[in-house]
Structure 1
C-alpha cells in the first residue's frame, strides 16, 4: 500500500508540475516510515529491547540487527549462559565489565546480566561506546567490525593491532556476526527491499555496505578501498581523511551494486551519461533506479540508488557513512533526473 501511495502522490505532483515539489511530497509520503526500525528472527522477549538499545545510540552503524547477530553469536539468545571464563547472560558480560555498563533497565529492582532488558541495554551502551572509539581511531576498517572485535578481545587489542586482532576466536566472531546481519533484518535499512530483478538486487547489494565510511575516491567492483584527497574532496576540517579511510564514494557504491550484471563506469557524471538514454519519470521510479544531482554549471556531483517511498541509499560525503536517507535531504534545485541502468 505504501508503494502505491508514493506512486500516486508522484503522479499527481507531476501533473501539477515541479520536480522539487515531487521530491518533497515523495519524502513526506515516507515520513511515517523514516523512524521505523525492525529486527527479524529473534525471540519476542528481545525484540523491543533491541530496537530501544539501537535507537539510544546516534552512531549510524548501530542497528537492532547488529545487536541481534551479536547476541546470537554470544549465547544463541539463551539467558542462562555462563562461560568457563565467567561471562554471564545473553550478552556474556564479565562481572567487571557489567559493573561499568549494567543498569536496572527493566526496573525489576536489580541490575542483572541474566535479564534480557538489562543485558541488551548494557550491550547497546558498550557497543555504542566502542563504535565511537572505532570512528575516532582512524583505523582503516569498518567501525562495526572494530567495535565487535573490541567487545570480544578488548579495545586495547584492537588499537595494538590497528584493526581486528589476529586471534582466531576474534576473527571468527567478527566474521560470523557480520555474515548474519541479513538474517536478523539487514544492516540498517528502514525500507524493506522486495522483489527480484536487476534493480532490487543492486539495492540489496548496496545495502550490505550500510555503515561503511565514505571515502572520496574509494571503492571498486571488488569492494571498499582507501580513497585519496585532491582539489575536489577527501578533506574534513582541513584534514585529509580519504587516504586513511577504507570505504566508498557515491559512484563507486553504485558501480559495486550493479557489478557484474551491469558494468557501469566509475564516476557519477559518466554513470549519468551511460544511462541517460533510459530516463525515468518520478511516477515510474522503481527500486534500484539511479538518482542524480548536479551543480549550476551542469556537473553531476552525486548519485544514489532509489529504494522506494521517497527513500534512497548512498555514500554522501567525507566524514559520513553509507546510509539510507530521504530524497528530500538533497537540494531539490540540484536534482538532475533519474535513470534506469
Structure 2
C-alpha cells in the first residue's frame, strides 16, 4: 500500500462501520477455495495463484480480477514475502500495523495472522480492495472503479474523496498517480497465458482482434462500452443484475457487442447490438471450417433471435465478453455459450 497511506487508515469516512459489515460478508465465503486450474492467471509465483483466486472468489465485485491483484502485488513488493519499507509496511501486500489490524486474519490456518505469510497477506489485500471497490462504485466519481480503489489502497480513501478521483501528479510527487497507472498497464501480462491469443497478419480482422484483446480481464457490463473504450452500463428488466442488485450501472466495462464494435472501430463502423451486427454482416457468411481471426461468431435462442457475439480468435476459440459477473476472455467456441445455440459466423 506504499507510503502515503501509512498511519492514515481512518481517513476513510465511516471506516469502522464499513469494515465490520464488509468483513462479515467476506468471511462467510472465504472458506471456499477457488479452482487453481484455470488459465486466467499467468506469470505469478506458484504459492500466490491459489490465494489470489480465493480472494477474488470471496469478493462480490467482479472488478477484483486475478490479474488486477497480481499486478498490484508486483507493484507493492515484487512478490517478495519478506518485503518491508522505511514506513513500516510489511509483506507482499505491504500492510502497516494499523491497517493490518483491521484486515489481517489467519487465513492460511497456521495459527498466526502474519502480513509476511502469503496467504494471510493476499486474502487481506482482497478484503481491503473489495471494500474500496464498493466505495468507488457508490462514490459517483466518474472513473474506473479499479483505478479509484487502487488510489485508495495507496493514498487512503480520504485522498480520493479530496480530489474527486485519482490524485493528480502534483500530489505526493506523483506516487499515487503512477502507482495506479503502472498497475492498470501491467494487468494484461498476468491475465492469461502468453500464447493464448497469438494473432498473425495485418488485415482488418486480425487488427480488430488485437485491438479488442487489449481489454482481456475487463469486467462485463451490460450496455457498457463504446467505440472509445469501456464505459458504465445499465440494467433492463432481465439484464445487468447480480444477486438481485443492478451492478451494470456501477461497472465500467464492455458487453459482447460493444467489445466487437470497439475492436473494429473506426475502420469498420459496426452497429451497437449483436443482432444489428449480424444483420449488417449476414451477407458475408463464413462456414465454421473457414473461420479466420476477427470473424464475428453469433449465438441465438430457439426463436432465432441473436443474443451473443464474439470475435474468432483462432484454434476454435473466441474472444468475448460473456455475461454479468465475468470478464473479457478467450474461450473455446463449444463452451463459451451453449453449443446448441451456435448460429453462425460472418466476416465484416
Question: Please, which of 203, 207, 214 is the counterpart of residue 208 of structure 1?
Answer: 214
CA distance in 2, matches of 1:78, 1:333: 47
Question: Please, which of 186, 198, 201 is the counterpart of residue 180 of structure 1?
Answer: 186
Q: 1:247 to 1:169 in 2, by over 3 A?
A: same
Asked whether the equivalents of residues 214 and 315 of structure 1 are also in contact (C-alpha less than 8 Å), the reply is no
Asked whether the equivalents of residues 140 and 163 of structure 1 are also in contact (C-alpha less than 8 Å), the reply is yes
Asked whether the equivalents of residues 152 and 160 of structure 2 are also in contact (C-alpha less than 8 Å), the reply is yes
CA distance in 2, matches of 1:298, 1:110: 58
Which shifted more, 197-206 or 98-107?
A: 197-206
Matched, 1:192 2:199: no
Structure 2, gaps ≥5 residues long:
1-34
Corresponding residue of 1:67: 69
Asked whether the equivalents of residues 164 and 171 of structure 1 are also in contact (C-alpha less than 8 Å), the reply is yes
For residues 106-141 of structure 1, give each alpha carbon's deviation from its aligned partner in whole angstroms, at most 9, with x where no partner exists. 333322112222212221222233233333444433
Q: 1:302 to 1:163 in 2, by over 3 A?
A: farther
Residues 30-179 of structure 1 aligned to structure 2 (within 5 Å):
36-166=38-168, 167=171, 168-179=174-185
Asked whether the equivalents of residues 213 and 319 of structure 2 are also in contact (C-alpha less than 8 Å), the reply is no
CA distance in 2, matches of 1:138, 1:297: 40
CA distance in 2, matches of 1:95, 1:295: 54
Q: 1:204 to 1:105 in 2, by over 3 A?
A: farther
Question: Please, which of 269, 282, 285 is the counterpart of residue 279 of structure 1?
Answer: 285
Say which structure, 1 or 2, has more relative contact order (CA 8 Å, 6+ apart): 1
Question: Please, which of 243, 254, 258 is the counterpart of residue 252 of structure 1?
Answer: 258
TM normalised by structure 2 equals 0.68
Q: 1:176 to 1:248 in 2, by over 3 A?
A: same
Q: 1:202 to 1:55 in 2, by over 3 A?
A: farther
CA distance in 2, matches of 1:238, 1:124: 21
SS in 1 for 2:48: helix
Q: 1:58 to 1:285 in 2, by over 3 A?
A: farther
CA distance in 2, matches of 1:108, 1:240: 36
For residues 225-276 of structure 1, give each alpha carbon's deviation from its aligned partner in whole angstroms, at most 9, with x where no partner exists. 46789x999987999976x87544543321211345x423232345324432
Q: 1:81 to 1:139 in 2, by over 3 A?
A: same
TM normalised by structure 1 equals 0.70
Asked whether the equivalents of residues 145 and 251 of structure 2 are also in contact (C-alpha less than 8 Å), the reply is no
Q: 1:238 to 1:258 in 2, by over 3 A?
A: same
For residues 63-103 of structure 1, give each alpha carbon's deviation from its aligned partner in whole angstroms, at most 9, with x where no partner exists. 33211211111112223332232211111101111112212
Asked whether the equivalents of residues 221 and 240 of structure 2 are also in contact (C-alpha less than 8 Å), the reply is no
Corresponding residue of 2:346: 339
SS in 1 for 2:175: helix
Matched, 1:305 2:307: no
For residues 141-160 of structure 1, give each alpha carbon's deviation from its aligned partner in whole angstroms, at most 9, with x where no partner exists. 32222221221122333344
User: What is the CA distance between 1:340 and its match in structure 2?
Assistant: 2.8
Asked whether the equivalents of residues 69 and 177 of structure 1 are also in contact (C-alpha less than 8 Å), the reply is yes
Q: 1:78 to 1:311 in 2, by over 3 A?
A: same
Asked whether the equivalents of residues 225 and 233 of structure 2 are also in contact (C-alpha less than 8 Å), the reply is yes
Asked whether the equivalents of residues 309 and 320 of structure 2 are also in contact (C-alpha less than 8 Å), the reply is no
Asked whether the equivalents of residues 152 and 159 of structure 2 are also in contact (C-alpha less than 8 Å), the reply is yes
Matched, 1:219 2:226: yes
